[in-house]
Amino acid sequence: MNTHWFLSLTDAQSKIECWRQEYNGFRLHSSLQNLTPDEVMAAALTVELQNA
């Protein structure tokens, strides 16, 4: 998103939200042992359910 033209405010909001979700949820994070936040959350929920 270094340089990007948007057709409207709604278009900008939609594209920025898609980028935010990809950046925060789908890319690997070295601080999470190269897992995605979604993978870490799924593992935590699995452990929590097993311990319940």
43: CB partners within 8 A, 6+ apart: 35
pTM of the model: 0.58
pLDDT tens digit sequence for 9-36: 999 999 999 999 988 888 899 999 999 9
Tell me the two tokens of residue 1. Answer: 């998103």
Half-sphere exposure of 46 (CA within 13 A, CB side): 6
Q: How far apart are CA 52 and CA 32, in angstroms?
A: 24
Q: Is pLDDT at 2 greater than 70 in this prediction?
A: no
